[in-house]
Structure 1
Amino acid sequence: MDMSSGVPLAQTMRPVRSIEQLCKRVTSILLTATLLCLSALAAVHASGDPLLDAYLEGVDLYRKGDLDAAIPKLRRAVELSEERNGDDSPELALDLNNLAEALRRAGQLPEAEKLLRRAYAIDQKQGEAGSAAAAATLNNLGLVLAAKGDQAGALNAHRAALAAAENSQGKDHPDTARAAYNLALAEAAAGDLEVAQALASRAAYVAERALGDRHPLTRQMRNTEARLRSMPRPSTAAVETAQLPKASPQPDLPKTATTEQARTPARKSGRTYAVQLVALRSESEIDAAWLALRQRYRRLGTTDRLPATFVDIEGRGRFYRLLVGPYMARADAEALCKGLKDDGGDCRVIIRN
């Protein structure tokens, strides 16, 4: 799926001293969503401030599609911003993002990646790694890495962007919906269609509640969700969890009991069981997977979700497990799992303690 169809994240405004600065803060990192106030300023206003003028001229040229002329202006804005604000200022990080976005659009990906990594290093140094600004930087970095063919890097960047958006804006904010949607596109590009669909569904649900069902963004997300739903899935012979949201096949977990031990009645051993529905690469994807599964399988409506746990698999990395339970008897957990498989899903019973 084309990663260029991703949507930009909104930028949290910092305190400003003028309407020009206000426009700049709102639209920084969001050149694809420049506000009307900027276009008006760029058309009629010469501030006498070289930095602001370079920025406004660059944005205006960018909006007109003249990247060859926009890039030198935005590059000059970066130079002046560094001179005025220092090499680790939040203002510089915003200007780096703007230049990087123009470079990405022009296909100059290596430099765009370098600038975005520098901007994120500034966010980290300023203690803003979990901020809305960092979410936007990581989102832009994900788009650049995807364009370079680095799917693993793009996934990591978009997962971090979603986590930062949730941290700074909350799970029900439109910007978090945008971050979830961009991650859905990255997951789809990597071939994980089920988790991509779950994320797109979550994004559309949040956007619909926040923006309404007729908003263009909501419609775009719903259309993507439908496209993902209609795309062919790998056969169950090739993928263990082809019918469940996933970031990869559910990993084989370390054995904690022998077959004979597993047959021991739970009440005699104090053992409890859970049903693992899916194992995901990112903890931030658990909520979306749970929402999608409950919508698809009615029998999950009477189950209780357990806190997510993780397991580290040598050579494969960390997986976060979506679990329901607990069950005192293994037979009860197996009955639920069998029902889910009869409904076309997949799962496995695990021992909790």
Structure 2
Amino acid sequence: INEAIELFRFALCIRLQTLPDSYVDHANSYHWLGKAYDDKGEYDRSIEYNKKSLKIRIERLGDDHPDVATSCNNLGIVYGKKGEYDKAIEYHEKSLEIRLNKLGSDHPDVACSYNNLGRVYDSKGEYDKAIEYHKKSLEIWLNKLGSDHPDVACSYNNLGV
């Protein structure tokens, strides 16, 4: 992970030197740095980079762009890992809202948002809500990806937990 972080930082430095301020590619570099720090378990640093990515994406793409939904999703995941469930839900709900409006109710990314909300509600001990969201994600993934897809298996697993 450290090598990946080093490479992502190098890419960001090049982009910062060669591209205009707040260019969308900067957001992509911040996104990947946030992901790497999440994978490393450095959640505060992950949040810092994901928020930078989100800010640029909102400024450049508008607050209802699917890439903004991705940034919100990533922040929701990290806040969930930190145990800050209300913040996690807030970001996941924003991600879901954008995805529903821009991608449609049967898109796999919508299923991902439902799945992530289910996981947070499960962590909060709100099992009825968790089941509701996991069933929604399962239905979409079954219809779009087929019964033998790994995401479908993930949904069955989450419902079983």
Partner of residue 299, structure 1: none
List aligned pairs for 1:126-205, cutoff 5 A.
126-205=60-139
For the 8 Å contact 1:162–1:183, the answer to whether it is kept is: no
Runs of at least 4 residues off by over 4 Å: none
1:149 shift after superposition = 2.1
1:204 shift after superposition = 0.3
For the 8 Å contact 1:158–1:186, the answer to whether it is kept is: no
For the 8 Å contact 1:135–1:161, the answer to whether it is kept is: yes
Q: TM-score with structure 1 length normalisation?
A: 0.44
1:139 shift after superposition = 1.1
1:159 shift after superposition = 1.0
Query: Does 1 or 2 have the higher relative contact order (CA < 8 Å, sep 6+)?
Result: 2
**1:106 maps onto 2:40 in alignment:** yes
- SS of aligned partner of 1:126: helix
Structure 2 runs not aligned, ≥5 long: none
Q: Alpha-carbon deviations, 1:128-154, whole Å to 9, x = none?
A: 322221111111111211222211111
For the 8 Å contact 1:93–1:120, the answer to whether it is kept is: yes
1:222 shift after superposition = 1.9
**1:95 maps onto 2:29 in alignment:** yes
One-letter identity of the residue aligned with 1:175: D
Structure 1 runs not aligned, ≥5 long: 1-66, 228-353
List aligned pairs for 1:201-220, cutoff 5 A.
201-220=135-154
Partner of residue 59, structure 1: none
**1:122 maps onto 2:56 in alignment:** yes
Q: TM-score with structure 2 length normalisation?
A: 0.93
One-letter identity of the residue aligned with 1:221: S
Q: Alpha-carbon deviations, 1:157-190, whole Å to 9, x = none?
A: 1111111211221110111111110111011112
Partner of residue 5, structure 2: 71
| Percentage of pairs with the same residue | 23
One-letter identity of the residue aligned with 1:107: G
Query: Hey, what's the Cα distance between the residues in 1 that align with 2:96 and 2:147?
Result: 22
Q: Alpha-carbon deviations, 1:183-203, whole Å to 9, x = none?
A: 110111122111110110010
The count of aligned residue pairs is 161
Larger radius of gyration: 1
The answer to which structure has the higher helix fraction is 2
Query: Hey, what's the Cα distance between the residues in 2 that align with 1:193 and 1:130?
Result: 30
Query: Hey, what's the Cα distance between the residues in 2 that align with 1:199 and 1:112?
Result: 26
For the 8 Å contact 1:86–1:92, the answer to whether it is kept is: no
Query: Hey, what's the Cα distance between the residues in 2 that align with 1:200 and 1:86?
Result: 42
Query: Hey, what's the Cα distance between the residues in 2 that align with 1:92 and 1:174?
Result: 26
For the 8 Å contact 1:184–1:195, the answer to whether it is kept is: yes
